[in-house]
Amino acid sequence: MSEFPGRRLEIDALRALAAIRNHGGVTRAAEALGLSQSAVSHKIRRLETSLDCELLNRKAGGSLFTSAGEDLLDYAARILGLHDEAVLSLSKTALSGRIALGLTEDTACTDLARILGRFGRLHPQVSARTKVRMSLVLRELLERGELDAAIVQIFAHEVRPTDVVLFQEQLHWVKHPELTLPEQGPVPFLSFDDQCFYRRWAHDIGQDGGVVLETVFECASAAGIVAAVKSAMGVALLSQRHIRPEMQIVTDRLPKPPGLVYVVRRARKTRNPVLDTLVSEIKAEITRYGGLALAS
Protein backbone atom coordinates (compact mmCIF):
# COMPACT_ATOMS: atom_id res chain seq x y z
CA MET A 1 0.00 0.00 0.00
CA SER A 2 1.32 3.47 -0.86
CA GLU A 3 2.72 5.61 1.95
CA PHE A 4 1.36 8.67 0.13
CA PRO A 5 -2.31 7.94 -0.67
CA GLY A 6 -3.72 10.23 -3.35
CA ARG A 7 -0.32 11.63 -4.28
CA ARG A 8 1.04 10.80 -7.71
CA LEU A 9 3.16 12.37 -10.42
CA GLU A 10 1.43 12.25 -13.80
CA ILE A 11 3.83 12.13 -16.73
CA ASP A 12 1.83 14.59 -18.85
CA ALA A 13 1.74 17.09 -15.99
CA LEU A 14 5.50 16.81 -15.52
CA ARG A 15 5.93 17.43 -19.26
CA ALA A 16 3.79 20.54 -18.98
CA LEU A 17 5.85 21.76 -16.01
CA ALA A 18 9.09 21.19 -17.94
CA ALA A 19 7.69 23.03 -20.97
CA ILE A 20 6.78 26.03 -18.79
CA ARG A 21 10.41 26.22 -17.69
CA ASN A 22 11.73 25.75 -21.22
CA HIS A 23 9.52 28.47 -22.71
CA GLY A 24 9.25 30.90 -19.82
CA GLY A 25 5.53 30.75 -19.10
CA VAL A 26 2.24 28.90 -19.39
CA THR A 27 1.11 30.64 -22.60
CA ARG A 28 4.29 29.88 -24.55
CA ALA A 29 4.41 26.33 -23.18
CA ALA A 30 0.84 25.73 -24.34
CA GLU A 31 1.67 27.00 -27.84
CA ALA A 32 4.76 24.80 -28.04
CA LEU A 33 2.88 21.72 -26.83
CA GLY A 34 -0.09 22.34 -29.13
CA LEU A 35 -2.48 22.64 -26.18
CA SER A 36 -4.76 25.37 -24.89
CA GLN A 37 -3.53 27.55 -22.04
CA SER A 38 -6.40 26.29 -19.87
CA ALA A 39 -5.40 22.66 -20.53
CA VAL A 40 -1.82 23.29 -19.36
CA SER A 41 -3.04 25.26 -16.33
CA HIS A 42 -5.43 22.42 -15.45
CA LYS A 43 -2.61 19.85 -15.56
CA ILE A 44 -0.51 21.96 -13.20
CA ARG A 45 -3.38 22.61 -10.79
CA ARG A 46 -4.17 18.88 -10.64
CA LEU A 47 -0.53 18.20 -9.86
CA GLU A 48 -0.53 20.88 -7.16
CA THR A 49 -3.69 19.41 -5.64
CA SER A 50 -2.22 15.92 -5.67
CA LEU A 51 1.00 17.08 -3.98
CA ASP A 52 -0.76 19.62 -1.73
CA CYS A 53 1.65 22.43 -2.59
CA GLU A 54 1.98 25.30 -5.05
CA LEU A 55 4.43 24.80 -7.90
CA LEU A 56 3.97 28.04 -9.86
CA ASN A 57 4.48 31.45 -8.31
CA ARG A 58 1.40 33.40 -9.36
CA LYS A 59 2.48 36.70 -7.80
CA ALA A 60 3.37 39.42 -10.30
CA GLY A 61 7.07 40.24 -10.57
CA GLY A 62 8.25 37.13 -8.78
CA SER A 63 10.12 34.10 -10.01
CA LEU A 64 8.21 31.69 -12.23
CA PHE A 65 8.34 28.73 -9.82
CA THR A 66 8.03 28.31 -6.08
CA SER A 67 10.81 26.54 -4.21
CA ALA A 68 8.71 23.36 -4.36
CA GLY A 69 8.33 23.82 -8.11
CA GLU A 70 12.08 24.21 -8.57
CA ASP A 71 12.70 21.06 -6.52
CA LEU A 72 10.15 19.09 -8.54
CA LEU A 73 11.68 20.23 -11.85
CA ASP A 74 14.95 18.52 -10.92
CA TYR A 75 13.11 15.26 -10.29
CA ALA A 76 10.91 15.76 -13.36
CA ALA A 77 13.90 15.85 -15.70
CA ARG A 78 15.13 12.51 -14.35
CA ILE A 79 11.68 10.90 -14.24
CA LEU A 80 10.81 11.93 -17.79
CA GLY A 81 14.20 10.83 -19.08
CA LEU A 82 13.88 7.37 -17.54
CA HIS A 83 10.23 7.06 -18.60
CA ASP A 84 10.96 7.90 -22.22
CA GLU A 85 14.05 5.71 -22.35
CA ALA A 86 12.09 2.75 -20.94
CA VAL A 87 9.29 3.20 -23.50
CA LEU A 88 11.80 3.44 -26.35
CA SER A 89 13.75 0.44 -25.07
CA LEU A 90 10.65 -1.77 -25.12
CA SER A 91 9.70 -0.67 -28.63
CA LYS A 92 13.14 -0.42 -30.23
CA THR A 93 14.23 -2.32 -33.31
CA ALA A 94 17.69 -3.75 -33.85
CA LEU A 95 19.88 -1.18 -35.54
CA SER A 96 23.47 -1.23 -36.67
CA GLY A 97 25.57 0.99 -38.87
CA ARG A 98 27.34 4.33 -38.93
CA ILE A 99 26.11 7.90 -38.96
CA ALA A 100 27.89 11.24 -39.32
CA LEU A 101 25.88 14.06 -37.77
CA GLY A 102 26.45 17.82 -37.70
CA LEU A 103 25.24 20.20 -34.98
CA THR A 104 25.47 23.92 -34.40
CA GLU A 105 26.64 25.26 -31.05
CA ASP A 106 23.04 26.27 -30.26
CA THR A 107 21.76 22.72 -30.68
CA ALA A 108 24.79 21.07 -29.07
CA CYS A 109 24.11 23.14 -25.92
CA THR A 110 20.52 21.91 -25.63
CA ASP A 111 19.24 18.63 -24.25
CA LEU A 112 19.76 17.19 -27.74
CA ALA A 113 22.99 15.84 -26.23
CA ARG A 114 20.82 13.79 -23.85
CA ILE A 115 18.76 12.46 -26.77
CA LEU A 116 21.91 11.40 -28.61
CA GLY A 117 23.30 9.77 -25.47
CA ARG A 118 20.08 7.83 -24.99
CA PHE A 119 20.10 6.80 -28.66
CA GLY A 120 23.61 5.40 -28.20
CA ARG A 121 22.57 3.38 -25.13
CA LEU A 122 19.51 1.96 -26.88
CA HIS A 123 21.42 1.11 -30.06
CA PRO A 124 24.94 0.01 -29.06
CA GLN A 125 25.65 -1.38 -32.55
CA VAL A 126 25.37 2.12 -34.06
CA SER A 127 28.57 4.14 -34.45
CA ALA A 128 27.87 7.88 -34.41
CA ARG A 129 30.33 10.69 -35.16
CA THR A 130 29.27 14.28 -34.45
CA LYS A 131 30.79 17.56 -35.61
CA VAL A 132 29.87 20.95 -34.11
CA ARG A 133 30.29 23.79 -36.62
CA MET A 134 28.58 26.97 -37.80
CA SER A 135 25.44 26.43 -39.90
CA LEU A 136 27.06 27.55 -43.18
CA VAL A 137 29.98 25.16 -42.64
CA LEU A 138 27.60 22.28 -41.92
CA ARG A 139 25.68 23.03 -45.12
CA GLU A 140 28.92 22.83 -47.11
CA LEU A 141 29.82 19.51 -45.45
CA LEU A 142 26.38 18.16 -46.38
CA GLU A 143 26.81 19.23 -49.98
CA ARG A 144 30.18 17.44 -50.10
CA GLY A 145 28.68 14.29 -48.61
CA GLU A 146 30.86 14.41 -45.49
CA LEU A 147 27.80 14.32 -43.22
CA ASP A 148 24.67 12.18 -43.35
CA ALA A 149 22.56 14.91 -41.77
CA ALA A 150 22.89 18.11 -39.78
CA ILE A 151 20.67 20.03 -37.40
CA VAL A 152 21.10 23.61 -38.51
CA GLN A 153 19.61 27.06 -38.15
CA ILE A 154 18.26 28.69 -41.28
CA PHE A 155 16.02 31.65 -42.00
CA ALA A 156 12.34 30.77 -42.29
CA HIS A 157 12.21 31.55 -46.01
CA GLU A 158 15.06 29.08 -46.69
CA VAL A 159 13.23 25.91 -45.61
CA ARG A 160 13.37 23.20 -48.26
CA PRO A 161 10.59 20.66 -48.90
CA THR A 162 12.93 17.87 -47.74
CA ASP A 163 13.91 19.59 -44.48
CA VAL A 164 12.45 18.25 -41.23
CA VAL A 165 11.35 21.31 -39.27
CA LEU A 166 11.98 20.93 -35.53
CA PHE A 167 11.01 24.32 -34.10
CA GLN A 168 11.09 28.03 -34.77
CA GLU A 169 12.69 30.88 -32.89
CA GLN A 170 12.94 34.65 -33.24
CA LEU A 171 16.16 36.56 -33.88
CA HIS A 172 16.61 39.91 -32.11
CA TRP A 173 18.92 42.90 -32.06
CA VAL A 174 20.06 43.28 -28.44
CA LYS A 175 22.24 45.63 -26.39
CA HIS A 176 22.95 46.54 -22.79
CA PRO A 177 20.57 49.22 -21.41
CA GLU A 178 23.55 51.46 -20.57
CA LEU A 179 24.72 51.52 -24.19
CA THR A 180 23.45 54.52 -26.16
CA LEU A 181 23.51 54.03 -29.90
CA PRO A 182 24.81 56.97 -31.95
CA GLU A 183 22.13 58.91 -33.82
CA GLN A 184 24.47 59.25 -36.78
CA GLY A 185 27.46 57.30 -37.97
CA PRO A 186 28.23 53.59 -37.68
CA VAL A 187 26.56 51.32 -35.11
CA PRO A 188 29.03 49.18 -33.09
CA PHE A 189 28.33 45.57 -34.04
CA LEU A 190 29.23 42.44 -32.06
CA SER A 191 29.57 39.75 -34.70
CA PHE A 192 30.07 36.06 -35.06
CA ASP A 193 32.80 35.15 -37.53
CA ASP A 194 32.51 35.37 -41.32
CA GLN A 195 30.95 31.87 -41.49
CA CYS A 196 27.83 33.17 -39.70
CA PHE A 197 24.72 33.78 -41.78
CA TYR A 198 23.42 36.27 -39.17
CA ARG A 199 26.44 38.42 -39.96
CA ARG A 200 25.98 38.17 -43.72
CA TRP A 201 22.32 39.14 -43.43
CA ALA A 202 23.14 42.07 -41.14
CA HIS A 203 25.70 43.53 -43.53
CA ASP A 204 23.54 42.93 -46.62
CA ILE A 205 20.38 44.42 -45.13
CA GLY A 206 22.36 47.24 -43.54
CA GLN A 207 23.69 48.33 -46.89
CA ASP A 208 20.17 48.18 -48.35
CA GLY A 209 18.62 50.07 -45.42
CA GLY A 210 21.30 52.70 -45.00
CA VAL A 211 22.51 51.42 -41.61
CA VAL A 212 26.28 51.24 -41.29
CA LEU A 213 27.50 48.50 -38.97
CA GLU A 214 31.05 48.67 -37.67
CA THR A 215 32.29 45.34 -36.34
CA VAL A 216 34.01 46.05 -33.03
CA PHE A 217 34.02 42.50 -31.65
CA GLU A 218 34.17 39.17 -33.44
CA CYS A 219 33.76 35.75 -31.86
CA ALA A 220 32.69 32.30 -33.06
CA SER A 221 31.04 31.45 -29.73
CA ALA A 222 27.60 32.57 -28.57
CA ALA A 223 28.95 32.75 -25.01
CA GLY A 224 31.50 35.33 -26.15
CA ILE A 225 28.86 37.45 -27.90
CA VAL A 226 26.61 37.30 -24.84
CA ALA A 227 29.49 38.48 -22.63
CA ALA A 228 30.26 41.36 -25.01
CA VAL A 229 26.60 42.48 -25.01
CA LYS A 230 26.54 42.41 -21.20
CA SER A 231 29.68 44.55 -21.23
CA ALA A 232 27.85 47.23 -23.31
CA MET A 233 30.32 46.95 -26.19
CA GLY A 234 27.74 47.12 -28.98
CA VAL A 235 24.64 45.53 -30.51
CA ALA A 236 24.37 41.90 -31.54
CA LEU A 237 21.98 39.54 -33.26
CA LEU A 238 20.98 36.78 -30.86
CA SER A 239 18.29 34.13 -30.93
CA GLN A 240 15.67 34.06 -28.20
CA ARG A 241 17.40 31.35 -26.16
CA HIS A 242 20.50 33.50 -25.64
CA ILE A 243 18.73 36.64 -24.47
CA ARG A 244 19.33 37.45 -20.79
CA PRO A 245 17.15 39.56 -18.46
CA GLU A 246 19.79 42.30 -18.37
CA MET A 247 19.69 42.73 -22.16
CA GLN A 248 17.49 45.19 -24.04
CA ILE A 249 15.84 44.29 -27.35
CA VAL A 250 16.35 47.02 -29.95
CA THR A 251 13.29 47.63 -32.14
CA ASP A 252 14.02 51.02 -33.74
CA ARG A 253 16.53 52.18 -36.35
CA LEU A 254 17.75 48.66 -37.13
CA PRO A 255 15.83 46.44 -39.59
CA LYS A 256 13.64 43.69 -38.13
CA PRO A 257 15.48 40.34 -38.30
CA PRO A 258 13.82 37.38 -40.03
CA GLY A 259 12.57 34.36 -38.14
CA LEU A 260 14.83 31.39 -37.49
CA VAL A 261 13.99 27.74 -38.06
CA TYR A 262 15.87 24.71 -36.73
CA VAL A 263 15.76 21.85 -39.21
CA VAL A 264 17.23 18.44 -39.83
CA ARG A 265 18.77 18.59 -43.29
CA ARG A 266 19.96 15.39 -44.92
CA ALA A 267 22.69 14.83 -47.45
CA ARG A 268 21.63 13.67 -50.89
CA LYS A 269 22.21 9.99 -50.18
CA THR A 270 20.29 6.71 -50.04
CA ARG A 271 17.93 6.49 -47.09
CA ASN A 272 19.65 5.38 -43.89
CA PRO A 273 17.58 3.36 -41.34
CA VAL A 274 19.80 4.59 -38.49
CA LEU A 275 19.25 8.21 -39.48
CA ASP A 276 15.52 7.66 -40.00
CA THR A 277 15.18 6.27 -36.47
CA LEU A 278 17.23 9.06 -34.91
CA VAL A 279 15.22 11.77 -36.69
CA SER A 280 11.97 10.13 -35.55
CA GLU A 281 13.15 10.12 -31.94
CA ILE A 282 14.24 13.78 -32.11
CA LYS A 283 10.87 14.79 -33.62
CA ALA A 284 9.03 12.84 -30.91
CA GLU A 285 11.07 14.62 -28.23
CA ILE A 286 10.29 18.03 -29.74
CA THR A 287 6.58 17.16 -29.79
CA ARG A 288 6.58 15.95 -26.18
CA TYR A 289 8.43 18.95 -24.76
CA GLY A 290 7.60 21.67 -27.28
CA GLY A 291 11.26 22.33 -28.08
CA LEU A 292 14.77 21.61 -26.85
CA ALA A 293 15.71 22.90 -23.42
CA LEU A 294 19.07 24.53 -22.84
CA ALA A 295 21.50 22.18 -21.13
CA SER A 296 21.96 22.89 -17.46
What CATH number is attached to the domain comprising 140?
3.40.190.10
Query: Residues 223, 176: one domain?
Result: yes
pLDDT at 6: 57
120 Cβ contact partners less than 8 Å away, ≥ 6 residues apart = 126, 128
Is residue 294 situated within a structural domain? no
User: Exposed, middle or buried by CB within 10 Å (0-12, 13-18, 19+), for 104?
Assistant: buried
Measured CA to CA, the distance from residue 260 to residue 252 in angstroms comes to: 20
Residue 36: CB atoms within 10 A of its CB come to: 11
Judge whether 138 lies within some domain. Answer: yes
Does 279 share its domain with 136? yes
User: Is there a single domain that holds both residue 153 and residue 188?
Assistant: no
How many domains are contained in the chain?
A: 3
The rounded distance, in Å, linking the Cα atoms of 92 and 214 is: 53
Return per-residue pLDDT of the chain as tens, 296 residues: 445 555 778 888 888 888 888 777 888 888 878 788 888 889 889 998 888 889 988 877 678 888 898 889 888 888 887 887 777 666 666 678 888 999 988 887 777 777 888 888 888 888 888 999 999 999 999 999 899 999 999 999 999 988 988 888 889 999 999 999 888 888 999 999 888 888 889 888 765 667 889 999 999 888 899 999 999 999 999 988 888 888 999 988 888 898 998 899 998 876 788 888 888 888 877 776 666 655 54
Residue at 6 is within a domain: no
Asked, for residue 24, whether it belongs to a domain, the answer is yes
DSSP class of residue 160? -
Same domain for 175 and 143? no
Contacts of 27 (CB under 8 A, 6+ apart): 37
Q: Are 184 and 60 contained in the same domain? A: no
User: Is 151 in the same domain as 177?
Assistant: no
**pTM attached to this predicted model:** 0.66
